[in-house]
């Protein structure tokens, strides 16, 4: 018989919610210590809803739950204080971050370091003076690192030589960057050494670096998403920010 999973006041965020029956909701949450968890929240909708906490994305919450199997029952929820009220189009960036976690993380697999990265990215998105593209590129790299698919950003995968800013590299998802002076490798993205070094240093001040980093991250993420489109991108397909 599966173990009874009981947790008390776990700090986390709602990634996604949908109505369930008349007054309940199904929640996908991301917690600091428990990772991604699926909950049924009973009696949280309608005029007689029992919980006063805001069950919305980007609201820090403390969750308690119990139950066997993958779907547990939320037994309590409290506000953890504060709300990440993302301005304008940045809310779509937040949904994009949530969708990547939903698609790429297994349930009940703790990733406390990734949780820190997620919360830091939300905080950065609040600051409209910071380009959200740069925030997302850093988050994507940290997500891939945490899942064991980290980028090779130190040396040429074939020669072992350090990356050179003025060289061009074909980025193989399983090997890393390989110098391609003829620019003839069509199957994998061609990225400048300058961009690869900037990604390593989280330095996205140059618009050209941001453009190349976006191409590379989209390519690498697609390998792990089975080339299935993200709904958050469909919501905001005309934006150049994701």
SS (H, E, C) 95-136: HHHHHHHHHHCCECCCCHHHHHHHHHHHHHHHCCCCCHHHHH
Domain with CATH 1.20.1440.120 in the chain: 90-235
Task: Find the mean pLDDT for residues 188-192.
Answer: 93
Collapsing DSSP states into helix, strand and coil, what is residue 17? strand
**Residue whose pair of structure tokens reads 């934006």 in the numeric block:** 239
Question: Residue 1 pLDDT more than 80?
Answer: no
End-to-end CA distance of the chain: 43
pLDDT, position 162:
97
> Beta strand pairing status for 61-66 and 35-41?
unpaired
Range name among 96-105, 204-213, 215-224, 227-236 with the lowest pLDDT average = 227-236
Which overall architecture, per CATH, does domain 7-79 show?
Beta Barrel (2.40)
**Which residues are bridge partners to 35 per DSSP?**
31
Confidence of residue 126 (pLDDT cuts 50, 70, 90): very high
- Which of these, 232, 240, 11, lies nearest to 118 by C-alpha position? 11
pLDDT, position 52:
57
Angle at 146 between CA 28 and CA 133, to 5 degrees: 80
pLDDT, position 22:
87
Domain with CATH 2.40.50.140 in the chain: 7-79
pLDDT, position 3:
63
Q: What is the CATH number of domain 90-235?
A: 1.20.1440.120
Q: 122, exposed or middle or buried, with CB in 10 Å at 0-12, 13-18, 19+?
A: buried
Confidence of residue 182 (pLDDT cuts 50, 70, 90): low
Predicted structure pTM score = 0.90
pLDDT, position 5:
76
């Amino acid at each position: 018989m599966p173990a009874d999973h009981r947790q008390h006041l776990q700090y986390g965020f709602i990634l996604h919610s949908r109505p369930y029956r008349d007054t309940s909701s199904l929640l996908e949450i991301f917690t600091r210590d428990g990772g991604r968890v699926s909950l049924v929240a009973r009696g949280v909708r309608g005029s007689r809803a029992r919980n006063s906490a805001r069950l919305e994305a980007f609201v820090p919450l403390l969750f308690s739950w119990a139950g066997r199997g993958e779907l547990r029952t939320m037994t309590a929820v409290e506000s953890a204080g504060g709300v990440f009220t993302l301005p304008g189009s940045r809310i779509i960036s937040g949904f994009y971050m949530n969708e990547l976690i939903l698609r790429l993380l297994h349930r009940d697999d703790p990733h406390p370091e990734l949780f820190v990265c997620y919360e830091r990215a939300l905080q950065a998105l609040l600051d409209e003076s910071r380009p959200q593209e740069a925030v997302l590129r850093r988050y994507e790299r940290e997500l891939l690192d945490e899942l064991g698919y980290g980028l090779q950003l130190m040396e040429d995968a074939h020669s072992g030589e350090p990356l050179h800013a003025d060289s061009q590299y074909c980025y193989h998802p399983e090997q890393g960057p390989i110098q391609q002076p003829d620019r003839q490798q069509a199957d994998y993205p061609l990225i400048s050494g300058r961009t690869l070094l900037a990604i390593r240093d989280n330095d996205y001040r140059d618009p050209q670096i941001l453009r190349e980093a976006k191409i590379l991250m989209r390519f690498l993420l697609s390998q792990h998403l089975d080339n299935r489109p993200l709904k958050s991108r469909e919501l905001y397909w005309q934006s150049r920010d994701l």
